[in-house]
Structure 1
């Protein structure tokens, strides 16, 4: 059994969860006029701004500061303190393996967006004067920057992960943390999300006409849209026996979770609610509960004209006649829609509803819409809550549902561990300047063409023009390689999901969006451009383009984002969260990345001066993963098996550390047969890892020599390694990738049933 032992939140209603809860239950509204920045021409300036947070309102200095990370730190510290977890005098957690999973979407955008507006000239080159300022200010920009700050301030952590699935990011962080516990990768997980308000999101939602100027009114017949907010929410979860051993009382239990994709539209929900229905049913099944055993539903309830009726229809389908007896409420009319943080904040509120026996109201709701025939809560109700559901539905149709329950009486009974599944590679594809390769042909990765560093338009001709018309460039590259790796057009297994690794996201497009906002005003920014600026949008676009309805999300870990995506997908399949996944690494050409971010986040000890000076290319790679059982049942080709994955973070020695256990931990196993080392790039750190392993004398392939230098080249290396094994050129392959503060060592081997 997994229990929740710590909660923390910062919202428009309070600088702590306790204050937020007290005011939420009283029915107070935290929406007020924006004060963080000037917003001329916006349709509405009403927001859920966390203006009561002293630490986040005062800039503490440091080039990697962001309001997002400050909100996250405050909520995470509260959750750790509530859980009674603290580091000892030696800086450790007393022998416990503590993990960190953080979701987000805005990261340091608030601090860097004004600079983005002037950084790129109209002809696409970086302004030299602005570049000098950017080199001092953009350390906070990447999606992974807030996670890195929490890891540095609150760690050490045995495992660290940054993810984005838009508005379900916080809920997914909790689900991933639970999977880590089930796989015995950690003993405790601090999981949650944070997002700060910024001009890009506020002007983007204004441009979509998705904001209600009078404030969000979930499920109200007069509703016109959402109200944006900012927040951070974190929970501490651990196995019940571990909490009992340290004499810590649990707040509630985490009984079930599930993630599904709609594969419908990047912004509009699929009207029948099919994906939310599947997510709710799967989370209840995992929890071992019937719909009649749910006593409260914390709804997504955004207040938009399309979402609320869709959610109501989905709830009616799942709960049937019992729905009339279940209180349903939404918090977004009081604290705003806090984007990535929403799922984590609402999970914390749901946990308190269980612990306190109190159902919070739906703020802003006065005239329930007949299209939303639910048991609405207009004022707080005292009620016993044995089990509750919290739902999060996101841009791109990334839907996640959590089920929480009351702590049972008596000593905890250790839950059985899930049976670990063998994970195999069933397809690979790579896209480099001049070449699109799939299958075993990837092993013969040709040399770079003499032409430019960009991928030629002709290589994208395989995309369906109609389905691809809304895709930005990164999403086009990703969709093409994912389709090739999964077996080409005509994919019939809709429950495939996608995990996409991207270091920096759509930074040049964000710059163009900000420049237009500054020059033309908020009313003339493009509503069509905004959705692709959300970090999770490439995964959403791929799932929509290919009709994939399994888990879908983006992970970010700088230059090892491809290796991180493979690790993430491996965990999901091993834990039984998915049976088939497309793993994608993608980076598009970007003037800002080449001249600013690649300088700030380069591995400082690159072993080759020529490599460091090489002109950055663009590229994408994809591997199709499946459990061995599913691959056999469906007759899928097997290129290789993932034998082990070793990951480390922030200064930890991957060879000396012995605290972790399980299928993703331990020393790098030496090759038994004919081994080959396949690297994206060579760096001093990766060379040190190889020198101290059993792979030092194995032949090597360095993919940057063929695919060019970019942040997704580690993903290319993984595809080459799998293809080489499939061709019989090696029986085992080791891929090592390192970035600032993190590293991965992946061993692939020939499949033996």
Structure 2
């Protein structure tokens, strides 16, 4: 019985990561993504998934999906119902599941973060209903497939375990908060093992929305650069398997890293704009460090939320500088969104796995195209691939509505 495990323990158990799967426009899986970042690749290209002829911006980081999925427990009918987002989610989950070496189990919690969820299915339904007005009357039951828990259920069915399922949808902090919530479940003794992650797929509605807000860069996404002019969208998924250190050692599992801290907060300054001085960003980083028992001097790399927009980057830069103090001038910082785009609800989970790569393989993810530092940046930006000694990393995720999340991961030697 994995859930619930026991009353909250007096001494919280250490939580380790034994499996990690990732899907981005750089490739499917850990190996291709690590190679892409180490080579300093960027994954943007003209959008081909939908018509962008009327849009101001016409590029994004699209994922090349396989025509046939690797074998799972999903039957032919379930595979036919998988949409683009669900496919990326299952691919990421499969890599994590295989790395962890877990067997099918009852009552294994699944916590996922997403923003769009089943929106692509809704878009397809709408188009077909408009083109064939009588068709949609016979398809009312398809509405149940637009819910994100249906995509999550596909993960359960694919690998033979049962929930409970928790879906966290609080904008671009969703993926990090999903992993953080899973960490809390294990630390509080509510579960011995948890599957967690985040995902989102490119869709016409979301792309058009950001484009109409003029939030997308018409040139190149370059977070924290003085000449930055907007974000770039991407898509993808990442899944991690979390378990107690005792459970991992009992199984003789290979440990990829340890999740040692998590913080979350709400910025009520504005619905879509962060506080100019990054007050709650500062709060969430301090909270995560307090949970982890580390100071800024112990952080070897900071994965910034770094969207490339004027207000977000300026706010985060102020917060990082205030939080880091003297350490700021030597703290390596970068935003992977310059390479793979902003994955919205999947961003935090994908970036957590990239941080795991940095810890495991001892390199820093570069921020390609960075040229001129914003005056608010008191810290160095990693702008080219480089090897480095990395033991502890901090990863930020912030979203519309003022939701903030910070994760802290430690190398497992």
Query: TM-score w.r.t. structure 1 length?
Result: 0.50
Structure exhibiting the larger radius of gyration computed from Cα positions: 1
Given the alignment, which residue of 2, 8, 14 partners 2:27?
A: 14
Matched, 1:101 2:111: yes
What is the correspondence of 1:61-100 to structure 2 with a 5 Å cutoff? 62=78, 64-87=81-104, 92=105, 98-100=108-110
- Contact 1:219 1:301 (8 Å CA) reproduced: yes
Q: What residue in structure 1 maps to residue 406 of structure 2?
A: 401
Q: What residue in structure 2 maps to residue 344 of structure 1?
A: 349
**Aligned-pair RMSD on alpha carbons?**
2.0
Q: What residue in structure 2 maps to residue 45 of structure 1?
A: 58
Question: 2: distance between equivalents of 1:130 and 1:214?
Answer: 42
What is the correspondence of 1:257-656 to structure 2 with a 5 Å cutoff? 257-407=262-412
Helix, strand or coil: the match of 1:153?
helix
Matched, 1:182 2:197: no
Q: What residue in structure 2 maps to residue 29 of structure 1?
A: 42
Question: 2: distance between equivalents of 1:231 and 1:400?
Answer: 19
Q: What residue in structure 2 maps to residue 112 of structure 1?
A: 122
Question: 5+ unaligned residues in a row in structure 1: which ranges?
Answer: 121-126, 409-753
Question: 2: distance between equivalents of 1:166 and 1:134?
Answer: 29
Q: Once the 2 structures are TM-superposed, how far is the Cα of residue 381 of structure 1 from its aligned partner?
A: 1.9
Question: 2: distance between equivalents of 1:343 and 1:207?
Answer: 24
Question: 2: distance between equivalents of 1:304 and 1:239?
Answer: 38
Change (3 A) 1:356 1:146: same
What is the correspondence of 1:666-681 to structure 2 with a 5 Å cutoff? none
Q: Once the 2 structures are TM-superposed, how far is the Cα of residue 109 of structure 1 from its aligned partner?
A: 1.5
Q: What residue in structure 1 maps to residue 235 of structure 2?
A: 230
Given the alignment, which residue of 242, 245, 255 partners 1:240?
A: 245
- Contact 1:67 1:108 (8 Å CA) reproduced: no
Change (3 A) 1:391 1:130: same
Question: 2: distance between equivalents of 1:86 and 1:161?
Answer: 21
Query: TM-score w.r.t. structure 2 length?
Result: 0.90
Q: Deviations over 1:56-101 (max 9, x none)?
A: 8xxx7657421111110000110111112233xxxx47xxx52211
Q: Once the 2 structures are TM-superposed, how far is the Cα of residue 337 of structure 1 from its aligned partner?
A: 0.2
- Contact 2:63 2:236 (8 Å CA) reproduced: yes
Question: 2: distance between equivalents of 1:119 and 1:248?
Answer: 50
Q: Once the 2 structures are TM-superposed, how far is the Cα of residue 333 of structure 1 from its aligned partner?
A: 1.0
Question: 2: distance between equivalents of 1:140 and 1:45?
Answer: 29
Q: Deviations over 1:390-413 (max 9, x none)?
A: 0001011100000111226xxxxx
- Contact 1:357 1:383 (8 Å CA) reproduced: yes
Q: Once the 2 structures are TM-superposed, how far is the Cα of residue 52 of structure 1 from its aligned partner?
A: 4.7
Question: 1: distance between equivalents of 2:46 and 2:180?
Answer: 34
Q: Once the 2 structures are TM-superposed, how far is the Cα of residue 119 of structure 1 from its aligned partner?
A: 5.4
Change (3 A) 1:110 1:61: farther
Change (3 A) 1:223 1:154: same
Q: Once the 2 structures are TM-superposed, how far is the Cα of residue 135 of structure 1 from its aligned partner?
A: 2.3
Question: 1: distance between equivalents of 2:377 and 2:127?
Answer: 42
Could you say which structure has the greater relative contact order, defined with CA pairs below 8 angstroms and 6 or more residues apart?
A: 2
- Contact 2:149 2:165 (8 Å CA) reproduced: no
Question: 2: distance between equivalents of 1:115 and 1:40?
Answer: 22
Question: 1: distance between equivalents of 2:77 and 2:120?
Answer: 15
Change (3 A) 1:172 1:128: same
What is the correspondence of 1:167-178 to structure 2 with a 5 Å cutoff? 167-178=172-183
Q: What residue in structure 2 maps to residue 253 of structure 1?
A: 258
Helix, strand or coil: the match of 1:306?
helix
